[in-house]
Amino acid sequence: MEKKIVFPEDFWWGSAWSAEQSEGTGDTGKAETIWKRWFSEEPNRFYDRIGPDVTTDHFNRYKDDIRLMKETGHNSFRLSLSWARLFPDGGRGEINRKAVDFYRDLMSEMIKNDIKPFINLYHFDMPMKLQELGGWASRETVEAYVNYAVSCFKEFGDLGYHWFTSNEPLGPILGTYLEDFHYPNFIDFKEGAQAAFYTILAHAKAIKEFKKLNLKSKIGVILNLSPTYPRSSNKWDTEAAETADAFYTRSFLDPMVKGTFNKKLVSILKEYDQMPDYTEEDLKIISENTAQILGLNYYEPRRVKARLTAVNKNSPFLPEWFFELHNMPGKRMNIYRGWEIYEKGIYDLCMDIKENYGNIESFISENGMGVADEERFLGENGQIIDEYRINYIKDHLAYLYKAVNEGCNIKGYHLWTFIDCWSWINAYKNRYGLVSLDLATQKRTIKKSGEFFKKMTEENGFLY
Ligand code: BG6
Each residue's pLDDT tens digit, 322-375: 999 999 999 999 999 999 999 999 999 999 999 999 999 999 999 999 999 999
C-alpha–C-alpha distance, residues 2 and 328, integer Å: 31
Name the residue at shortest CA distance from atom 14 of ligand 1. 426
Q: Is the pTM of the predicted complex or chain greater than 0.95?
A: yes
CA of 266 to the centre of ligand 1 (A): 29
Helices and strands (H, E) in the chain, number of each type: 16, 19
Look at residue 55 and give its three-state secondary structure. Answer: coil
* Span 304-329, pLDDT tens digits: 999 988 899 899 999 999 999 999 99
C-alpha–C-alpha distance, residues 300 and 367, integer Å: 9
430 Cβ inside 6 Å of ligand 1: yes
What is this model's ipTM?
0.98
Q: Among candidates 332, 437, 417, which has minimal Cα distance to 370?
A: 417
Q: Are 350 and 400 in contact (CB under 8 A)?
A: yes
Q: For residue 310, what pLDDT is reported?
A: 87
Q: Are 227 and 352 in contact (CB under 8 A)?
A: yes
CA of 2 to the centre of ligand 1 (A): 33
Choosing from 366, 374, 380, 451, the catalytic residue is 366
* Span 263-313, pLDDT tens digits: 999 999 999 999 999 999 999 999 999 999 999 999 999 999 999 888 998
The answer, yes or no, to whether residue 202 has pLDDT greater than 90, is yes
Name the residue at shortest CA distance from atom 10 of ligand 1. 423
167 Cβ inside 6 Å of ligand 1: yes
Q: For residue 122, what pLDDT is reported?
A: 98
- From 56, 78, 124, 416, give the residue whose CB has the most ligand 1 atoms within 8 Å, as the site to mutate: 416
Give percent above pLDDT 90 in the chain: 98
CA of 421 to the centre of ligand 1 (A): 10
Sign of CA dihedral 259, 264, 265, 271: positive
How many Cβ atoms are within 10 Å of 68's Cβ, its own excluded? 18
Q: What are phi and psi of 16, to 5 degrees?
A: -140, 155
Name the residue at shortest CA distance from atom 16 of ligand 1. 423
Q: Which long-range contacts (CB under 8 A, 24 or more apart) does 39-45 make?
A: 45/425
DSSP 8-state symbol, 338 = T
Pairing of strands 410-416, 12-16: parallel
The answer, yes or no, to whether residue 18 has pLDDT greater than 90, is yes
Q: Which domain holds residue 335?
A: 4-463
Look at residue 14 and give its three-state secondary structure. Answer: strand
Which whole number is the average pLDDT over 85-92? 98
The answer, yes or no, to whether residue 84 has pLDDT greater than 90, is yes
Q: Among candidates 296, 19, 291, which has minimal Cα distance to 163?
A: 291
- From 224, 298, 366, give the residue whose CB has the most ligand 1 atoms within 8 Å, as the site to mutate: 366
Q: What angle do CA 196, 198, 202 make, to 5 degrees?
A: 120
- Cα 57 to Cα 63, 110, 112, 421, 422: the distances in Å are 11, 17, 21, 10, 11
Which whole number is the average pLDDT over 118-126? 98
* Span 403-434, pLDDT tens digits: 999 999 999 999 999 999 999 999 999 999 99
Which whole number is the average pLDDT over 73-88? 98
CA of 416 to the centre of ligand 1 (A): 8
What is the per-residue burial (b if ≥16 Cβ within 10 Å, else e) of 420-458?
bbbbbbbbbbbbbbbbbbebeeeebbbbbbbbbbbebbe
Is 366 known to be catalytic?
yes
CA of 432 to the centre of ligand 1 (A): 9
Give percent above pLDDT 70 in the chain: 100
- C-alpha distance across the termini of the chain, in Å: 8
Q: For residue 313, what pLDDT is reported?
A: 85
Q: What angle do CA 23, 27, 32 make, to 5 degrees?
A: 70
Ligand 1 closest atom vs CA 421:
10
C-alpha–C-alpha distance, residues 18 and 126, integer Å: 13
User: Which CATH number covers residue 199?
Assistant: 3.20.20.80
The answer, yes or no, to whether residue 174 has pLDDT greater than 90, is yes
> Helix H segments across 134-234?
139-156, 170-173, 189-212
C-alpha–C-alpha distance, residues 237 and 234, integer Å: 6
Distance of CA 253 to the CA centre of its chain: 13
Number of domains forming the structure of the chain: 1
Name the residue at shortest CA distance from atom 5 of ligand 1. 423
Q: For residue 380, what pLDDT is reported?
A: 85
